[in-house]
Amino acid sequence: MDAFLQQAGNLGAFNSEGVFTLSPEQAAKKLARFQLPFEEAWLVKVAQAAVASGAEQLEVHQARGITFFSFQPAEFLDIQEVYRVMVSEGDSSVRAIRHLASGLRAVGLGKGRPFTLSVEHGSEQSLLGWDGTRLGSAEKKLAGSDKGLLVQLGVGHPAQQPEIAASELKELAARTEASPIPIVINGKRVDHLNAPLIDPGHGLGSRTELSVGWCPYDAAVELPPLRLPRGVRLRERGLQVDDSFTAERTFLVDGDPLQQEVCSLVKLSYGYHVSSHRVATGRFQFHNVPRYSYIHWIRDGVICESHRWMTEPSAVAFDLYLSADGLPTDASGLQIVRRPDVAHRIKRALPSVCLQAERTAQAITKRFPRPFGSHAAMSVFFGFVCMSEPVAALFKVLLGGVAASYLGYSMYDKHQLMRDAVRNLQRMSNGLSQ
C-alpha cells in the first residue's frame, strides 16, 4: 500500500490547455479549504462515489500511513474528467465523478495530503496522483489483467497526527450505517443501522436497541425511495434466559428483508441506568436516561446530515432515516437547505414511527420473562434432586440452588426494565400521534 501511494510522486504533469489564466491547482486550493462542512467529509464523498457508481461493495482498509479504498463501479470512471472537475469546480453528468472529485479536492488540495487514484479497465490503468505540491497523471498497460473495472484510492495520513486518521474511520462508519451496499472497514461491515449515539442525552447509561424497521415503498406516501441496507437483516436474535438487557440485541426487526426499496427506516432505542444492583445491595434500582430523537437525511447511501427532532428527550428515542433526493443542498451536497418540503417529508414519515413503536411494544410484551414461575420450577427440581442424592452431594446441589436463585433475580430485574420500555414506547407513540 505504501508503494501504491508513492506513485503520486512519480507521475507526469498535466499540460495546460490554455483554459486557465492561473495554475488550476492553486485556484482550486481556496475552494478545497472551505467547500466541505466538516473535517471528515472527504471520506463521505468517496463513499458516495462508490454507491453512485453502482458498485456492489466498498472496502476500506487503514494501514501504516495510508487509508486505502477499493470498489468496482458498474460504469467506467474517466480520470481525466475527475481531474477537470477537481481543479475547475466544473460539473459532470456523472454523480460518482462529482463526489469523487469533491473529496479528492478537499483532502489533497485543501489538506495537502498525498493521494493516488487508480482506475483499471481490462489491461488499461489510468493514474492520478497528488504529492502535496503538484498533480500528475499516467497511463499504464497491465500484463494479463482481465479484472474488469476496478477503482483504487490511497490517501496518506496527516503527518504526526495518527489520531486524525482513526477518527476519520469512526465518522465514516457512523455515516454509512444505512448504506445500500456493504461497507467493509478494516474487515468489519458497518451497514447495519448500528452507529453509536450522536448525543449521549443527559448522562451516562446503557442503551438497548428495541427495534429496526421499514415499510414497503409506496408512492402514495410521497417520499422518495430508500434502498434497504443489506446488513440489517442479520441482527435480530431471540431472547435467552441468561441474557442481560443490553445494546447487543435487536428485539424486533420489523420488515421484509427481501425488499429492495422502502419509504423510510426507523430505529428505536431505550436508555436507562442501573443505580444499584441486587447482587451488591440486595435490591434493584434503575432510572431512565433521556435520549434525543434524530432525523437522518441520506443521499447516495450516506447520511449527509442529521438534526434533532424538536421534542424533549425521552427514555425511548427514535432515529428516522429519510431520502434527501430532490432536496436543495449547499455547494458541498452535505447540508440540507431548510424548506417547507423538508418538514413535509418528516410529517409523512412519522406515522411509520408510531406503528413500529406499537409493534415493538407488543413484541416485547410477548417475551416478558416469568421470574416467579421459574423460581417455582427450580424449587421443585432441586427438591427432587435433594431427596434422591446422597448427603455428600448436597453441597453441590445447594451451590446450584444459589446460582439458580441469582438467575431468577436477574430475570425479575430484566422484567422490570422491559415493562418500563413498553410504557415509554406507548408514551412516545401517543405523543407523535397528537
Q: What is the DSSP string of 78-124?
A: -HHHHHHHHHH----S-HHHHHHHHHHIIIIIIT---EEEEEEETTE
pLDDT score recorded for residue 245: 64
Give percent of the chain with pLDDT exceeding 70. Answer: 75
What's the grid cell of residue 245? 438487557
pLDDT score recorded for residue 29: 59
pLDDT score recorded for residue 279: 61
pLDDT at 353 over 70: yes
Could you report the per-residue pLDDT of 46-99, keeping only the tens digit for each? 999 999 999 999 999 998 889 999 999 998 899 999 988 888 766 788 999 999
Beta-carbon contacts of 324 under 8 Å, excluding residues fewer than 6 positions away, are: 297, 298, 299, 304, 305, 336
Q: Which of 131-135, 152-156, 193-197 has the lowest mean pLDDT?
A: 193-197
Mean pLDDT on 13-39: 56
* β partners of residue 13: 136
CB atoms within 10 A of CB 257: 13
Tally of CA atoms within 13 A in the half-sphere of 114 that contains its CB: 21
pLDDT score recorded for residue 231: 84
The structure's pTM equals 0.85
3-class DSSP state for residue 323? strand
Tally of CA atoms within 13 A in the half-sphere of 24 that contains its CB: 19
Domain spans, the chain: 2-189, 206-370+413-433
pLDDT at 358 over 80: yes
pLDDT score recorded for residue 281: 64
pLDDT score recorded for residue 433: 85
What's the grid cell of residue 157? 495520513
3-class DSSP state for residue 25? helix
Please, what is the end-to-end C-alpha distance for the chain in angstroms? Answer: 56
Phi and psi (nearest 5°) for 215?
Answer: -115, 155
Contact 284, 274 (CB under 8 A): yes
In whole angstroms, what is the distance from residue 65 CA to residue 134 CA? 20
Helix (H) or strand (E) holding 344: helix 340-366
pLDDT score recorded for residue 244: 63
Q: What is the CATH number of domain 2-189?
A: 3.30.565
Compute CA 201 distance to the chain's CA centroid, rounded to the nearest angstrom: 19
Task: Give whichever of 1-5, 27-31, 300-304 has the largest mean pLDDT.
Answer: 300-304
Q: Which residue has the cell 445494546?
A: 247
Could you report the per-residue pLDDT of 193-251, keeping only the tens digit for each? 888 777 765 556 777 888 999 988 998 889 999 999 988 765 666 666 556 665 567 88
pLDDT score recorded for residue 258: 85
CB atoms within 10 A of CB 29: 16
pLDDT score recorded for residue 117: 95
Across the chain, mean pLDDT equals 81
Q: Which of 98-112, 228-242, 253-267, 352-366 has the lowest mean pLDDT?
A: 228-242
- List Cα–Cα distances, 280 to 216, 222, 244, 283, 284, in angstroms: 48, 54, 16, 8, 9
Could you report the per-residue pLDDT of 392-427, keeping only the tens digit for each? 454 554 445 444 544 545 677 788 888 999 999 999
Beta-carbon contacts of 59 under 8 Å, excluding residues fewer than 6 positions away, are: 69, 70, 71, 184
Pairing of strands 285-288, 58-63: unpaired
**Closest among 185, 203, 204 to 46, alpha carbons compared:** 185
CB atoms within 10 A of CB 427: 14
pLDDT score recorded for residue 49: 97
pLDDT score recorded for residue 27: 54
Going by pLDDT thresholds of 50, 70 and 90, the confidence category of residue 373 is very low
Q: Compare 39 and 409 and report the one with higher pLDDT.
A: 39
**Closest among 275, 288, 264 to 193, alpha carbons compared:** 264
pLDDT score recorded for residue 236: 62
Angle at which helices 95-104 and 41-52 cross, to 10°: 160
Beta-carbon contacts of 88 under 8 Å, excluding residues fewer than 6 positions away, are: 19, 20, 24, 27, 28
In whole angstroms, what is the distance from residue 203 CA to residue 206 CA? 10
Compute CA 353 distance to the chain's CA centroid, rounded to the nearest angstrom: 19
pLDDT score recorded for residue 182: 95
